[in-house]
């Protein structure tokens, strides 16, 4: 779980646009972020297994 101060810092507008970084909307994690879904890999897996992300299902072959 990310610290609250870092989540707040990420929500502010940076002085320069290159300093902006993405965080998961659910837990605030910075690494392993999927831009398309705006979540980290852990939250993405949790949501997809519950069926809350349309069009995503576990692969099996």
**How many angstroms separate the CA atoms of 33 and 44, rounded?**
9
The structure tokens listed for 11 are: 């929500």
Cβ-proximal residues to 2 (8 Å cutoff; 6+ apart), any chain: 23, 27, 28, 29, 30
Binding residues for Zn(2+): 24, 27, 40, 43
């Amino acid at each position: 779980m990310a610290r609250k101060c870092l989540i707040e810092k990420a929500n502010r507008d940076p002085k320069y646009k290159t300093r902006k970084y993405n965080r998961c909307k659910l837990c605030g994690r910075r690494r392993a972020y999927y831009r398309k879904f705006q979540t980290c890999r852990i939250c993405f897996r949790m949501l997809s297994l519950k069926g809350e992300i349309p069009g995503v299902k576990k692969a099996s072959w």
